[in-house]
Structure 1
Amino acid sequence: MKNWLSTIQANKRLQAIMIGLYIVVTFLSLYLAQKSVIAFLLLLASLLLLYFTTFSNRIKWLVAGLVMVVLLPFAASQGEAYQSYMEVATLVGIYIAMALGLNIVVGMAGLLDLGFVAFFAIGAYTYGIFATSQANNFMPFGHYPLSGGSFWVFIFIGCLAAALFGILLGIPVLRVKGDYLAIVTLGFGEIIRIIFNNLDKPVNITNGAMGLASVQPPKLFGLDFMYPSQFYYIVLVILLVVIFAVRRLEYSKIGRAWKAVRENEIAAQSMGIHLVRTKLMAFAVGASFSGMMGVVFAAKQTFVDPTSFTLLESITILVMVILGGMGSVPGVILGAALVTILNLQVLTELTNWLNQLSLNGVISIPDALSPAKMQRFIFGAILILFALYRPQGLLPAKNPVFKKEDLTDTSGHPPMNAGVQKEGAQHVHLDS
């Protein structure tokens, strides 16, 4: 088996043929069998197979773009389940962006944050308040709700608002670590949710537990974005920006500073790293991604209320990061996609299938063990199995590999342009 895999890995033409056939077969399967969840998931799995190929990053991005922008929407659009598939794909993109933001805080900087969903709520309410008539209750000027064209501006406003609250959270928690940091951030998340839940008195700002209804949908060139298939492309563009930003930050000066703080704060400080500035930057950058997606979520749902931002949501996002591999960008993307698809589609479809068998008398399931009640149990059991057999995550973080000739010039001194060549083994080493 290893010889066969190494043969494939060494032959790019064979890889191209295999990945091409796989994409064509899964595309036709989804195109012809519109209600096939398996075909939909198999087509998405082509992105994971593409990651393991030895093609250049440019080719991988081009093929992935073809699949996500053209093939997946077109194949899914030929039947009734089109909007359902796009809803799942859109939510996957939203959770991937939030998980990448939390990965900066937890995976790279080593700061355990259990209140991350608060920044998601801040972004959602930032747009929701001004995109409904709610702002008329406290704003002395302007006419509300704002038009759907303001959505594109509020993406940046939500990003900045969440980043500001990330800094405000970071300032008082700089002195605490580990379990105490987790407790403080957990409290922050609950405080934000409770404030939004009770901020209808004495001035009605958030409408309290009733939430904000009839949020204005985005509008661009006279076109209203109202369906998941339209939001899919908005999320895809934002997600590409987030991935690009995270990858650039990972090997930048601030990215290396985050990892140094994660490993040993005292050693990092002795090397000249400013702990306060570095931690605040991690909180701000991570929160900004969540704030942007909060704005998109509010516009997509057209309704915002505090029940969407509970502690369970924060834990779910943290599970995505841990399951994929803390500090690993590809791992976090895979972990977020798996957890979201498991919750929204796989376990739901399994529950519906078992319920149908029970109704038809094929099997008899006690009420206490009904699939609807056991769905969370099954999800928890799957996570335990992953934790036992993949404790470092599905795709663990890898340190960069440097070539010896790029680290030294002809005189034996390191050149000014020595850089990262590729991701490789778990530890940095020199090729002999």
Structure 2
Amino acid sequence: MEKLKSFLSGNKIAQGVLIGVYVLITSLALYLSQKSVVAFLLLLFSLLLLYYTQLSNRLKWLLAGVVLVGVLPWAASSGPSYQSYMEVATLVGIYVAMALGLNIVVGLAGLLDLGFVAFFAIGAYTYGIFATGQASNFMPFGEYPLSGESFWLFILVGCFAAALCGVLLGIPVLRVKGDYLAIVTLGFGEIIRIVYNNLDKPINFTNGAMGISSVTPPELFGMQFTYPSQFYYIVLGILVVVMFAVRNFEYSRIGRSWKAVRENEIAAQSMGIHLVKTKLLAFAIGASFSGMMGVVFAAKQAFVDPTSFTLLESITILVMVILGGMGSVPGVILGAAVVTILNLQVLTEVTNWLNQMSMEGAISFPEALSPSKMQRFIFGAILILFAIYRPQGLIPAKNPVFNEEELKAHAAKQTGKKSSVPEDRAMQA
């Protein structure tokens, strides 16, 4: 075993071949089986294995794109569970994007936000109101519902609306931090939910607790998007943009400013960092990702109501960030995927299997310990185990390592260029 590990650790070609064989076996297993959650999870596990290989980043992205765009939909398309697999994959993508947005606020900037789902609701209601006849109750012009082609525009509208609300939230809470910031953001999330729940009179904006139904599905070149397998590609496209933006922000000047504010606000301010601008940018950018996914969620569900945007949803997204590793982009992606798959698929399948065994008389459970009642307990126990044995997260954040000699040589080279400019001008004079 040790010889195999040492052989693979320094051989990129062997690692690539091993990943290819693994993907081929798991994809064939999923394709040939009518319904196999294990094969589906094993195929997704190949992305985590790919992350730990020593292949170049460009090749990793290329292979991950091949798996997500081609292999996964093809392997899942043969059985009757195709749409259920794509539903899980789509929701994983939605929660990954929201977790990446919250990671900017909590993980990079260090601002504890317990009302993040409010921006998700803003995006969902922004599209839900105008994609149904609801807008005709208060809009003096235009014909509603809007066509499905407007969905692509509303992705940007939801993004800017959520970002604007993020700035409006950030302005009054800049005076507080820590626990008080958590309380204020929690109150903001509850206020948004209650407003949407009661905004059906005197003018009916949101239809109140009844929710908004029959939301117009997206449309492109005459083709309507109604199935999870179609929304999967929409979410995947938006997720690529979100991940690209987050990675660029993380290592940019604003990303370093967020980290400085997170570590010590006084020291950051003494180094010339504008605290107000930095915090507002964190709130706005993080909220914008959630607003975009809110638009997609409303179109996918074709129904929007306040019960989808409770405090529990905000806590769940925060758990994804903490479980994966605060400030770590790959960690947050893994944490969001683990929590979503556990809730939507793994624990549900285990509960159904135990219920089936109980009905057949193979296992007997007391009424108070029935599997359906213990699902949340099992989920909580799993989170506790993760917190005990992986307190820094599944993939902890890593600061980039720079070569000190190369930095000094580059600085000396730049200094030499600057100092030579006055000499040249003097010679010209």
TM-score range normalised by the length of the shorter chain: over 0.9
Contact 1:408–1:414, Cα closer than 8 Å, also in 2: no
| Whole-angstrom CA distance in 2 between matches of 1:325 and 1:385 | 15
Superposed displacement of residue 412, structure 1: 4.5
2:38 maps to 38
Superposed displacement of residue 8, structure 1: 1.5
Q: Which amino acid aligns with 1:43?
A: L
Superposed displacement of residue 411, structure 1: 8.3
Residues 1:188 and 1:341: Cα distance change in structure 2 (over 3 Å): same
2:341 maps to 341
Bigger drift between 114-123 and 395-404 goes to 395-404
User: Unaligned stretches of 5+ in structure 1?
Assistant: 417-432
* Aligned-residue identity in percent: 78
Residues 1:411 and 1:38: Cα distance change in structure 2 (over 3 Å): closer
- Establish whether residue 209 from structure 1 lines up as the match of residue 212 from structure 2: no
Residues 1:145 and 1:415: Cα distance change in structure 2 (over 3 Å): farther
2:406 maps to 406
1:142 maps to 142
* 1:164-179 → structure 2 map (5 Å cutoff): 164-179=164-179
Superposed displacement of residue 16, structure 1: 1.4
User: Unaligned stretches of 5+ in structure 2?
Assistant: 417-429
Superposed displacement of residue 362, structure 1: 0.4
Superposed displacement of residue 330, structure 1: 0.2
| Whole-angstrom CA distance in 1 between matches of 2:213 and 2:2 | 56
Q: Which amino acid aligns with 2:49?
A: L
- Establish whether residue 245 from structure 1 lines up as the match of residue 245 from structure 2: yes
1:124 maps to 124
1:301 maps to 301
1:201 aligned counterpart, secondary structure: coil
1:313 maps to 313
2:102 aligned counterpart, secondary structure: helix
| Whole-angstrom CA distance in 2 between matches of 1:2 and 1:117 | 47
2:341 aligned counterpart, secondary structure: helix
Superposed displacement of residue 371, structure 1: 0.9
Q: Which amino acid aligns with 1:272?
A: G
2:9 maps to 9
2:270 maps to 270
Residues 1:46 and 1:415: Cα distance change in structure 2 (over 3 Å): farther
Q: Which amino acid aligns with 1:64?
A: A
TM-score norm. by structure 2 comes to 0.95
1:47 maps to 47
2:356 maps to 356
> Comparing both structures, which one devotes a greater share of its residues to helix?
2
1:102 maps to 102
| Whole-angstrom CA distance in 2 between matches of 1:318 and 1:235 | 21
* 1:48-87 → structure 2 map (5 Å cutoff): 48-87=48-87
| Whole-angstrom CA distance in 2 between matches of 1:409 and 1:346 | 53
2:393 aligned counterpart, secondary structure: coil
1:234 maps to 234
| Whole-angstrom CA distance in 2 between matches of 1:171 and 1:385 | 38
1:400 aligned counterpart, secondary structure: coil
1:382 maps to 382
1:110 aligned counterpart, secondary structure: coil
Residues 1:153 and 1:411: Cα distance change in structure 2 (over 3 Å): closer
1:256 maps to 256
Q: Which amino acid aligns with 1:211?
A: G
Residues 1:410 and 1:212: Cα distance change in structure 2 (over 3 Å): closer
Superposed displacement of residue 355, structure 1: 0.3
Residues 1:124 and 1:415: Cα distance change in structure 2 (over 3 Å): farther
String of CA shifts for 1:146-191, please: whole Å, max 9, x gaps.
Answer: 0000000000000000000000000000010100000000000000
| Whole-angstrom CA distance in 1 between matches of 2:21 and 2:65 | 17
| Whole-angstrom CA distance in 2 between matches of 1:158 and 1:114 | 20
2:223 maps to 223
* 1:388-427 → structure 2 map (5 Å cutoff): 388-409=388-409, 412=412
| Whole-angstrom CA distance in 2 between matches of 1:219 and 1:360 | 47
Q: Which amino acid aligns with 1:45?
A: F
TM-score norm. by structure 1 comes to 0.95
Contact 1:409–1:415, Cα closer than 8 Å, also in 2: no
Superposed displacement of residue 413, structure 1: 5.6
String of CA shifts for 1:175-221, please: whole Å, max 9, x gaps.
Answer: 10100000000000000000000000111000000000000000000
String of CA shifts for 1:237-276, please: whole Å, max 9, x gaps.
Answer: 0000000000000000000000000000000000000000
| Whole-angstrom CA distance in 2 between matches of 1:211 and 1:253 | 42
Bigger drift between 326-335 and 365-374 goes to 365-374
1:115 aligned counterpart, secondary structure: coil
Superposed displacement of residue 7, structure 1: 3.3
2:409 aligned counterpart, secondary structure: coil
Contact 1:129–1:212, Cα closer than 8 Å, also in 2: yes
| Whole-angstrom CA distance in 2 between matches of 1:153 and 1:348 | 36
String of CA shifts for 1:77-120, please: whole Å, max 9, x gaps.
Answer: 01100000000000000000000000000000000000000000
1:112 maps to 112
Residues 1:411 and 1:133: Cα distance change in structure 2 (over 3 Å): closer
1:272 aligned counterpart, secondary structure: coil
- Establish whether residue 92 from structure 1 lines up as the match of residue 92 from structure 2: yes
String of CA shifts for 1:309-348, please: whole Å, max 9, x gaps.
Answer: 0000000000000000000000000000000000000000
| Whole-angstrom CA distance in 1 between matches of 2:52 and 2:276 | 38
Superposed displacement of residue 365, structure 1: 1.0
Contact 1:407–1:414, Cα closer than 8 Å, also in 2: no
